Amino acid sequence: MSSHKVVQAMYTDDDVLMDAVKTVKEAHYHIEEVFTPFPVHGLDKLMGLAPTRLAICAFLYGLVGLSVATVMMNFIMIEDWPQNIGGKPSFSYLENMPSFVPIMFELTVFFAAHLMVITFYMRSKLWPFKKAENPDVRTTDDHFLMEVSAGDNVDAVKALLEGTGAVEINVTEKH
């Protein structure tokens, strides 16, 4: 497995971090990752990250839930065990659909929510007992860390990051 040098710059303010990301992107260096203790609005666009497609997944998962609810209620209440409840005979699904709307809604939300959590964990590669990848524990409290791929230009990247207001700069090997 090959390794390469990464320069890690630590910041104490999110506005300084945003300016530093702009500076690094303008200098055409590749930002490996940015670790923040809270979401920084606009950082994803500034880094040039593609928009997420999780909303499309949520819609599709909701459709799966709606389909399961429809098939389940039709089978249970119409075909397998029809009952005359309160003088309302169960001859067809469409005649009884208004009473099925709450179940359809609940299963749509249930499927979308649960499958979205599973999709998020799989997409983020968050498996049970996975070792944390956070390079500095201070980024979970009040610091921001930007990792910039240095290649052979370690000194140039360090000089660039020193001018961006970084409070600490480290060079590490990343595998």
Q: What is the pLDDT of residues 25-57, one digit of tens each?
A: 999 999 999 999 999 999 999 998 888 888 999
Do 63 and 114 lie in a common domain? Answer: yes
Do 23 and 83 lie in a common domain? Answer: no
Do 118 and 65 lie in a common domain? Answer: yes
Residue position matching structure tokens 């699904």: 93
Please indicate, yes or no, if residue 43 is contained in any of the structural domains.
no
- Total count of domains within the chain: 2
Whether the CB-CB separation of 175 and 1 falls below 8 Å is answered with yes
Please indicate, yes or no, if residue 16 is contained in any of the structural domains.
yes
Please indicate, yes or no, if residue 47 is contained in any of the structural domains.
no
Q: Please, what is the average pLDDT of the chain?
A: 89
Tokens of 74: 């039709």
- For residue 133, give Cα distances in angstroms to 33, 34, 57, 139, 140: 11, 12, 26, 12, 12
Whole-angstrom Cα distance, residue 25 to residue 42?
14
Do 113 and 88 lie in a common domain? Answer: yes
Please indicate, yes or no, if residue 65 is contained in any of the structural domains.
yes
Please indicate, yes or no, if residue 174 is contained in any of the structural domains.
yes
Do 30 and 78 lie in a common domain? Answer: no
- What's the one-letter identity of residue 29? Y
Please indicate, yes or no, if residue 149 is contained in any of the structural domains.
no
Whether the CB-CB separation of 15 and 24 falls below 8 Å is answered with no
Do 109 and 139 lie in a common domain? Answer: no
Do 65 and 119 lie in a common domain? Answer: yes
Please indicate, yes or no, if residue 14 is contained in any of the structural domains.
yes
* Average pLDDT, integer, range 79-90: 75
Do 163 and 109 lie in a common domain? Answer: no
* Residue 2: per-residue pLDDT: 57
Q: What pLDDT digit, counting tens, does each position of 140-173 carry? A: 899 999 999 988 888 899 999 999 989 999 998 8
Q: What pLDDT digit, counting tens, does each position of 100-116 carry? A: 899 999 999 999 999 99
Does the pTM surpass 0.75? The reply is no
Do 31 and 59 lie in a common domain? Answer: no
Whole-angstrom Cα distance, residue 172 to residue 175?
10
Please indicate, yes or no, if residue 95 is contained in any of the structural domains.
yes
Task: Show the domain range for 28.
Answer: 1-35+134-143+156-175
Whole-angstrom Cα distance, residue 108 to residue 82?
24
Do 66 and 117 lie in a common domain? Answer: yes
